[in-house]
Structure 1
């Protein structure tokens, strides 16, 4: 009896080992066939495109995605389904680097796409397209309560005692970096009026504004949400954020500073994941579609300044160019800005620490 029980136990152990081995083989097969299945789906009647975008693009994309679906279906007979994620630009870039397998990304600034290039996810040639990879433009403006009760006219008014200011955190938000670049650049412009382009003056100007900041939110969208809830007197934000809300019936005034920065927002195929998923063809078509008239018209309706020249001319009366507008090159380009403003010992962190 003992011998029979021993044999039975050995048989059960052997079977358990065999089943574990077989399960491992099946698991390996399923992993190997996963990409094949994904590629097969991409070449079949249905394809899923994963979008990782910065939060401010969400509303416009809600209208754009169905239009692209219709166009792609008419051209190819293939149905496109979308999986979407919206986060602050810096947060979204880190998520993609960390393993969120987006096929296409729309981010607030080219520096966040460059992070994906450094991670080996996006090719260095992503700018070798129309408009250097950009799909929308905007400017940094000031939003006030209806009627502008504090009489805000420029960035200088944000330094006055008692003025409560909102803008997001540049550690997580690309929009925040545009906001801070605009304020710092306005300080440089004001210093030039006094005789020379003076970084020390610009830093002091940024410090004065920052003293009046109520909170540093995660994203530009979060700052706008706080403003809508009644926090603060003035929000520093993208022009399109305010225009889109005014269109929805919100009662805000838009103040365009004399000196402000031109914002440019990129889109790119995340090459590694698009190739892995077998979605490159549709991903490239989608990014190209974002620059076409139909999509650009939607962007314009949501307050973005189009990169498509035809659509821009059709909306010329809506988008005034400020007399003192400057772009990122005025600050030395993004590499210089990252070094001087946002490095660990940079101007922004000195302002934050009160140094």
Structure 2
């Protein structure tokens, strides 16, 4: 009896000691997590809303950033991605799609997100003027350029079937139309001595008369061209360069007068505040500006905004003599009012045809 009672008392003492040790261990865990702000959450969500043409480049870049973030912080990223025509994507973000970062075709689409109150900082002062890549508007033809397309005037020839997307949904389409309209202004300067708007509208109208179809996005328009629709496509230079790099045989025709495309990027402050993920969103923004990321954009046909990468890769891109930027057309506010308002030049062209 005495031995049994002693054994029981010893066993009870051991149990109490073990319980005390477990309590000490569990109490120490929160203090360890507080030392590392990422340890408390094993996963962070990042929501990316981008225009369709950027999809291939971003789907190469995102896994690289995920790996870098995991190595630096020990935290995994749960990615949510959406790729749409730029205007469609902007409206989706305003309508409830909670993107943390927007990568779109033109600054006008970022502007409408900002006016909706979702962007509260000056996004144009971040990075490189708020831009992540550049390009120019060019024309693409079948291999060997069977219709001898040389410049914009050739798109107005009888029987030439032209493709570009719909500017109501596609930022790329607005760049395309801006390029053609601006080329009309340049031609008016040469022939009449001044950039005449009526001349430029008729220039655009003659080309639009040969449009085969108006697709939702630049990527959809490119897909239609690949299926055999049309003789010539008006598109981003990067779209054609990326396909040629994959072995698809197209000819690129760079017109004398064309527009410099600038593609914006912005953090969506309201959504970031809701999600509590500003650190990872800002890190992704900075990653896209890095030399590593910018070289990958070049691989996919984009012109880089990083100065060092731009200098290193400048030989890969054409520099037409008559290139102009959006300021030549008066800036985006003027363009939206003059070309794309309900009584604007674009809708006058449609009504006339």
TM range (shorter): 0.7 to 0.9
2:303 counterpart (288, 305, 319): 305
The equivalent of 1:232 in structure 2 is 230
Shift of 1:130: 2.7
The equivalent of 2:278 in structure 1 is 280
2:141 counterpart (140, 144, 153): 144
In the TM superposition, 1:32-71 aligns within 5 A as 44-71=41-68
Does residue 92 in structure 1 map to residue 93 in structure 2?
A: no
Count the aligned residue pairs.
Answer: 316
Q: Residue 105 of structure 1 aligns to a residue in which SS?
A: strand
2:119 counterpart (97, 117, 122): 122
Q: Is the 8 A contact 2:121 2:269 kept in 1?
A: no
Does residue 182 in structure 1 map to residue 148 in structure 2?
A: no
Q: Which ranges in structure 1 are unaligned for 5 or more consecutive residues?
A: 1-39
Larger radius of gyration: 2
Q: Residue 289 of structure 2 aligns to a residue in which SS?
A: coil
Alpha-carbon RMSD across the aligned residues, in angstroms, is: 1.3
Q: Residue 74 of structure 1 aligns to a residue in which SS?
A: helix
Q: Is the 8 A contact 2:38 2:75 kept in 1?
A: no
Rounded to whole Å, the distance in 1 between the matches of 2:319 and 2:280 is 35
Rounded to whole Å, the distance in 2 between the matches of 1:282 and 1:42 is 14
Rounded to whole Å, the distance in 1 between the matches of 2:281 and 2:245 is 31
- In structure 2, relative to structure 1, the CA distance for the partners of 1:153 and 1:43 (3 Å cut) is farther
Q: Is the 8 A contact 2:178 2:259 kept in 1?
A: yes
Normalising by structure 2, we get a TM-score of 0.88
Structure 1 residues 82-131: Cα deviation after superposition (integer angstroms, max 9, x where no partner): 11000000000000100001111100000000000111111251111132
Rounded to whole Å, the distance in 2 between the matches of 1:158 and 1:123 is 43
Shift of 1:81: 2.2
Q: Is the 8 A contact 1:126 1:133 kept in 2?
A: yes
Q: Residue 164 of structure 2 aligns to a residue in which SS?
A: strand
Normalising by structure 1, we get a TM-score of 0.87
The equivalent of 1:75 in structure 2 is 72
Shift of 1:340: 0.2
Q: Residue 228 of structure 2 aligns to a residue in which SS?
A: coil
Q: Is the 8 A contact 1:145 1:252 kept in 2?
A: yes
The equivalent of 1:349 in structure 2 is 347
- In structure 2, relative to structure 1, the CA distance for the partners of 1:344 and 1:124 (3 Å cut) is farther
The equivalent of 1:247 in structure 2 is 245
Q: Is the 8 A contact 1:42 1:48 kept in 2?
A: no
Shift of 1:320: 2.0
The equivalent of 1:294 in structure 2 is 292
Q: Residue 214 of structure 1 aligns to a residue in which SS?
A: strand
Structure 1 residues 26-71: Cα deviation after superposition (integer angstroms, max 9, x where no partner): xxxxxxxxxxxxxx98962211101110000000011100111122
Shift of 1:323: 0.7
Structure 1 residues 139-192: Cα deviation after superposition (integer angstroms, max 9, x where no partner): 000000000000001111101100000000000000000000000000000000
The equivalent of 1:11 in structure 2 is none
Does residue 202 in structure 1 map to residue 194 in structure 2?
A: no
Rounded to whole Å, the distance in 1 between the matches of 2:152 and 2:214 is 18
